Every structure is written in C-alpha cells, then in structure tokens.
Chain A
Amino acid sequence: MSLGPSQVREIAHLARLAIDRNDIPAYVENLSRILDFVEQLGSVATEGTAPLAHPLEMPQRLRADVVEEEDQRELFQSIAPATQDGLYLVPKVIE
C-alpha cells in the first residue's frame, strides 16, 4: 500500500499537523514503507476470530456519582498559553 504526496497531505491535515513541503517526500517514503510492512496482516486468516481490544477482558468499573473534584482553575490556567477572565482563548472560530 503506497501513499502519494497528496494522500500524505490529506492525512497530515486530518491529524492537524503542519508538514514542511520539503519533508513530504520523506514522509511519503517512510509511511509507505510502514504500511507495506503491516500489509502482511492482510493475508492472515482471521474469520471467526473476535477482535481483542484489551488484553484483560474485564467489564468497565463504575464510579459513584459523588462530587470529588474542587475548583482548581487558577492552578490549571497557570500553565495555559492564553486566558482571560477564567476563559481559555483561541484564535477566532469562524462558523
């Protein structure tokens, strides 16, 4: 499964990664090599085998509906790139 430059650009955009134009050929090559490598899975007979998402097949544990968190806004926002009046700021979202 080889990828082309336009596919790499599409994937990079879907993942919100700015890729330098000069680096595209290297990504094309490396990603293609990785995908070629994992391609061998395609020939494995897996009919009737259930997918395994977790090594331990246990059910989800449930948490009691009790408030356990307190307001730590000041601490959390002390490491934020941009805030104002307790709000996080980002460049204007255009809808």
Chain B
Amino acid sequence: MDWEAVIGLEIHIQLATKTKIFSGAATAYGAAPNTQACAIDLGMPGVLPVLNEQAVRMAVKLGLALGATIAPRSVFARKNYFYPDLPKGYQISQYELPVVADGELNIELDGGVSKRIGIIRAHLEEDAGKSLHEGFEQVTAIDLNRAGTPLIEVVSAPDMRSAKEAVAYMKKLHSLVRYLEISDGNMQEGSFRCDANISVRPLGEQRLGTRTEVKNVNSFRFVERAINYEIQRQIELLEAGGEVVQETRLFDTSRNETRSMRTKEEANDYRYFPDPDLLPLEIEPALIEEVRKTLPELPDAKRERFMRDYGLDAYDSTVLTASRALADYFEAVAARCADAKLAGNWVMGELAGALNKAGLDITEAPVSSEMLGVLLQRIKDNTLSGKIAKEVFEAMWNGEGGADAVIEQRGLKQLTDRSALEAVIEEVIAANPNQAQQYRAGKEKLLGFFVGQVMKATKGQAHPQLVNELLQEKLGGCKIIE
C-alpha cells in the first residue's frame, strides 16, 4: 500500500526582547544560574505579571509577515501543571484567543515549485526554566533564568507531506524571524524549538490517521531524521496490523529513533482559564500600522527583486536571500564592485566555503562586505586575476588587511605594462625555439604552454588576456591544418 505522511509543526521561538515577557528581569543567555530570575519569575507570593510591550510588537510583526490576522483582543490564560522548572505551577499562555491567527508561509520545493503552508495560530507565552539532571546524584537542579522568557508559538496546519517539506518550512520560518529581527533563532541555545505532529494515512484517504507528537527536535537535521523515522515506524506498525497510539515521543539523537516519553501516560488536564492577573490584550489598528512601517523587505519579495534587478537565477536568488544578513552582505558587495554576477559567485563560492569551513555565521565573517567589494573591484579593473584574487581573499580572511594592502604588501599587482610584458614574452619565445616552431606549424594547443611559461616568469601576475594577445602577435599567426 502507498502511504502519505501528514505533518504539522509547532515551533517555539524565543523573542529577542531585553526583558522577560512579564517581568523586568534580563533575558541574556548564559548568565550564572538564577541570577536573572526575579521575584516574578520565581513565582514568589503576591507578585504580579505585567506584559512586555516589545513582545507584543514582535508578535504583531510576525503576524503581519505571515499575512495573518492580528486579533484586536486576545486573552492570556493559565495552563496548570506541576513541574519543578515551572515556578508558579502554571504557564501563562494564550488559549482560546491567540494574538495571531490564520496566516501562511510559502516554501520552495525542488524544481522551483512553491507550496503554501497554512499557519493556524501564533500565540505569546512564557518559557519555563531548565532542569539539570547531569552531575547531580539523587537530585535535579533547577535554573530559572529562562523562566519567563517570551516565546511565540507558531502552529502550522498539517500541510506538510514529507520530512523535506517540514524542514523547508522550518528553515523558511527560521529565516523569517531573523529577517524580522524578532529572534536570534539560535537553535543550540534553544531560541528556536520544534515539536512535530506526525501521522500517516493510505494515499487518497481524506481522514487523518492517529498522530504522535515528537518533542524538542532542535536542529534541521534532527527534524528530518526524526520525522522520517516516525513515518517509517508508523507505516510498519500499521502494515503489521497494529495501531498508532496517540502519545508524545522523544527523538533520541544518539540512536536516531523516537521513543515514547511517558510510560505512565497520565491524562493531561491543564485546566486552562483566563489569567485573572492580566487583562485582555487589545491591539489598536494604529499600533499595527506603526509596526507595519518597520517591516523589512521579506524573503520572498527580496528573492523576486534579486532575480529582476540583478539578473540572478531562481536558485542563486533563493540562496542569497536565505538570511537577511547574507542578502545585505551580497547587496553591499554587488554595489561596491558593480557586478552582481561576480558578487554572487564570490559570496556563494569563496566566502560561503570559508564560512562553512570555519563554522562561522555571515555576521561573523572576518572579511567584510566592503573588503570583498574592493577585492572584486580589483578583478574588474584588471589589477588582479581571479586566481590571485583568491590568494588575496585568503590573506584578508587571515587578517592581513584589505585587498589593496595585501596586493601592495605581497606585490601581487597584475602586470599590464605592455612593453614589460613584451620583453618577458620575447625571452620565453627565445628560450623555447622548438615549441615556437611547432606552434607556427599549426600546433595551436601550444599557446597554452607559452601562456603558462609567461605566467611562471611573472609569478602569475601577468594579465592573462594581454599575454594571449601579445603571444599571438609575437609568435605570428598559427596555420590551422585542415
């Protein structure tokens, strides 16, 4: 039987506010344990939550970018359950009336196909603290620095049909929140976390199968693996006549498999009700318009523009707009060297390779867009050959300064002085009379040999086109043997 997978993702995104969603405590990552947990974050008696304006603006910004409805009135609710990293015994979240509803995100699939993924809702809530199990005997240690960090949870429709689509969606949303500058998207630090709801059904069947929820798959690679594993597991289970149990599963990254999380499956009864310490969040149209004005050019629009204005193809445009920082970098380079194609090739080639090798993000590149732009200018004005430019790039990467300084210091300036080159060429021809003879007799291939010799004599600095031209002139015409 042919099976179809149905996947929906719930993605928790930490918002890049300076303070917690309901308190004035800092949200900086990596502080000493519990030094950023104030009385409100600790759930001390009598203290009360007050909503962070910036978190609301960020939610609105995301809502607008997803083409969603911004609720004029939304309500914070308490989700009640006991856990040591949940100080109040409830999480403040949004339940019946979320701030954002009914949006969409388009993902690009292979072959230039685009697919719309529905966004059911996005709501504001507070993060929990962290439980530390390792390094302690018999006890668990609790760090509440993260407690109260603002999250927006984005719930997709079950519109994805493969792990690949799920990853494309996740990457697109990841790129979007970074474009919007509402999250650093740092997955290692937990700023962007994914739960996947997965079910399978016979191809053509309209009803949904029983789903499982795979929790906390926090890298693109693991999401793909976890979903593929889970799809396979469910298919095998069903084909063997079994049934999928609705449950929460955890992806074990060391074994590449999912396993049931709660053996003692206890019916969760969260007893949601409106938080009486908070009033309904009312968002005025004026605020929405104010936020709309701060929206940057979004990835899809930018991609279109790159194709239109720079003449790049769809693939290159997609790659170059994957992040706002990368796109900005590319545009700065292109503007400096006035050659978008050249800029694109270098950014996606040499630069991307070096970043990848060093494990760095575009924002951490030791070669700035200005530096790369100048380097490419030197190719354009024939100061450098492409090959030498790579050497200069490497030197810049290693901190030897800008392109001009490296060229100067290493004496890499391309030889374009006609008379100087003529002298070298004459010497080379004189030193290789046989080859000259053969060339003149029609062995055209030997031109390459002479170019090589000239380049060697000039340590690669000779301008290749000029060398070609002068060699042909000096060697005389080559008789093509029919």
User: Footprint of B on A, CB under 8 Å?
Assistant: 14, 16, 53-54, 58-69, 71-73, 76-77, 82, 84-93, 95
Contacts and interface: CB of A to CB of B under 8 A. Distances in A.
B67 interface: no
A74 to B, nearest CB: 10
Contact of B141 (A60, A84, A95): A84
Contact of A60 (B23, B44, B138, B279): B279
22 contacts: A53-B274, A60-B76, A60-B282, A61-B51, A62-B52, A63-B24, A65-B54, A66-B24, A67-B25, A68-B24, A69-B25, A73-B34, A73-B35, A76-B39, A82-B139, A86-B34, A88-B84, A89-B142, A90-B139, A92-B139, A93-B140, A95-B250
B142 A59 contact: no
A72 B47 CA distance: 15
A88 B139 CA distance: 10
A86 B279 CA distance: 34
Contacts of B23: 69
A53 B276 contact: yes
Contacts of B37: 73, 76
Contacts of B55: 65
A71 B28 CA distance: 13
Contact of B34 (A14, A69, A87, A95): A87
Given A87-B142, A89-B139, A91-B139, A16 B132 contact: no
Nearest to B83: A93
Contacts of A64: 53-54
A25 to B, nearest CB: 24
Nearest to B275: A53
Given A14-B269, A60-B279, A67-B18, 16 more contacts: A53-B276, A54-B279, A58-B279, A59-B279, A59-B280, A60-B76, A63-B51, A64-B54, A69-B19, A71-B36, A73-B34, A88-B34, A88-B144, A90-B84, A93-B140, A95-B133
